[in-house]
Structure 1
């Protein structure tokens, strides 16, 4: 499998897992549970989802728009729960369409950007794109643990579940 196809599938998984977590599992939380300090790096479900959205904007800007957005990682972009979820879903959905526009050779190149601290860096393109999706997986895992600690069932978010669904739909 070529890298473009691989990353397109990874982008599809990223959107699927985020949607599944939000729609099926986080939607049932009370406002108190939504904002409760759950011991996560960004404290609450709300804080963690805002961080995910910030990271989506930062990394999409670096990759797709060739701009380095300087935004603190704990910025609250949306105080409203519905607006936050809607914005996050829109953000994760755009990766696949963007990957479709790339030439296969692009995955062998580099990505240059400026970090939040103003430090310019250059990193390998494909592994860094992999980091974007891995970052989402990391925080979705934290959110699953928070759900479990609150007495809710955690969703099945393993990539293989999405691959089975996609295969069955074909």
Structure 2
């Protein structure tokens, strides 16, 4: 179970990095251009993803946050740096965790208490990221550019050297 949980998180990291690499190939303004979507810019979407990933990481560590703050990201480079830094911390957490079946007790931003296993939280993080990467793919198309696939099956093919 631990290996699968870590693999799912590694997929999340891979997919975000692949999307960032694709964004680097597009005109710089694509990152901050306004579109009609869940968030008004790709930068703000990544800011939300970063804030939520950090919030869940802190919950895994037993830290309570009354609210999550939107992360303001100005450039793709800044986004990549901040995501890499957070994901390094999370990977270190996984190396040291005994079991992903441990229960995490945490409070949401409204102060309500919940219990979930570590692997359930990781699954949520991955699903949340997939949802917002889909938003970003749609935003890229709205701005007149081709997207890139970040599907889980492509990740599996990549790590198994099938592609």
Q: Same fold (TM over 0.5)?
A: yes
CA RMSD of aligned residues (A): 2.1
In 2, the alpha carbon distance for the partners of 1:89 and 1:39 equals 28
In 1, the alpha carbon distance for the partners of 2:53 and 2:86 equals 6
- Segments of 5+ residues of structure 2 without an aligned counterpart are none
Give the secondary structure class of the aligned counterpart of 1:116. Answer: coil
In 2, the alpha carbon distance for the partners of 1:127 and 1:118 equals 20
**Cα displacement (A) at 1:90:** 2.5
What is the aligned partner in structure 2 of residue 53 from structure 1? 50
Does the Cα contact within 8 Å between 1:8 and 1:100 map onto a contact in 2? no
What is the aligned partner in structure 2 of residue 154 from structure 1? 147
- Segments of 5+ residues of structure 1 without an aligned counterpart are none
Does the Cα contact within 8 Å between 1:57 and 1:91 map onto a contact in 2? yes
Between Structure 1 and Structure 2, the one with more helix by share is 1
Normalising by structure 1, report the TM-score: 0.83
CA 1:66–1:50 in 2, change beyond 3 Å: closer, same or farther?
same
What is the CA deviation profile of residues 61-90 of structure 1, one whole-angstrom value per residue up to 9, with x for unaligned ones? 111x210233335x2343454323310233
Normalising by structure 2, report the TM-score: 0.86
Which of 81, 85, 96 is the aligned partner of 1:86? 81
**Cα displacement (A) at 1:167:** 1.3
Q: What is the aligned length?
A: 162
Instruction: Give 1:1-150 correspondences, 5 Å limit.
Output: 3-31=1-29, 33-63=30-60, 65-72=61-68, 75-103=70-98, 106-150=99-143
